[in-house]
Structure 1
């Protein structure tokens, strides 16, 4: 078995920020699974984290910077992400985070992160920026991603921060962005709930849009009434080449998430695509 985890947060101080006040409601929603992660980690969270990826055969793991200084005073530095990836090379791949409210400075920071630090994409948590996906302030960053030939990760669907608007993650807004910036490669993560079919429709229209099943238990895709069932249906057929897997660790245990994907009623070839093949192609790495 080979795995690529598209969304993970290492348990080290440089990646802190999940405990911020504006994300306090996330801790309520993910209380059970995060407690399970903490209990398993014991006194050596980083060692436990790295060992879990050894056990599941993780080829690569994507870790992301984040800059929401303007709105919430928090920044996970691009330099810290790059340093972690160097220290744990070649498994870990870093993505940049910049603050769109900083205008041209953010565009320059993205260029430095890609050209000098070796980061491989841009992470935008639009709800934390308090910006809709199609806000004009994001377009200079979208265009810079096209120029640099790197993809962008866009938070899509519900967020649990009651300091932010849920509407800022509406999948339909991606359609306008992809029409107006046609060369942009996007991964929507998490996968759009409660507008899952809306996201599927946008992805069906735009072949440069992928969907990451992250921050949600994979078993829910096969649970009647969950609202995620469309991802299983379309992800097993017309969108089978554009579904990526992500644990969103520490929101859920790594090994449990992998096992739940293995138990989904997917074609064997499609399961392999979900777990590593699609992400390898998207990231431009060996499968």
Structure 2
């Protein structure tokens, strides 16, 4: 050693002996990720958590799909003005109907919104700052315009633990105009005629639903008998009602009746009065 110091040569150290067991242990030690170091969880724990999140996401997706499959068919079946739309019209409107889920106390519909809302499950209540007005129960249809007729502060609020709804807003329906102008025009026409049948002529002659139905029945009868004088008198009085038809009747409008019975005179009078040859009957003919 003294000679080594004198000559300036260092002593070469022998590296420590590493046993085979130590080598094996080192080879199986997992390399920690930043997430493991931050949380203190093992890789297996993190994988289990990740699988749990995936299962929860899949469950939520399944619940959403179940709601959509349940809500949208019920919406078209229960809303009167949509019940008898032709299949291709419903297909255009599928994406416009929005399912919604609300908890107790949440606002389902604000004042001033023009929409049709169907309560699939639960209940909602029309209320303002002073009192409660009426309940909208499961299976009932609610029109947003009703709120403005109650009071300026009225709103529709979820009254049960949960409330599942389907909503079609006028904004969504108008958005269809740009994408499918012809389809939009046909849908609006069908809805307007159905509204006359179910709600009466509130913006025109003031006829009640019962009066509109009686008028449409008399018009079909006159067309079937080819009573041209009565046809002209009726269509002159209410030309905008000429296409009104009973959605549950196979014969449909007065023009359908005249065509089925080959009443050429009735067909000419009705067409001259503005009857649309594109109006469909119950079987979409």
Task: Output the TM-score relative to the length of structure 2.
Answer: 0.28
Task: Output the TM-score relative to the length of structure 1.
Answer: 0.28
CA radius of gyration, larger in: 2
Question: Relative contact order, CA 8 A, sep 6+: which one is greater?
Answer: 1
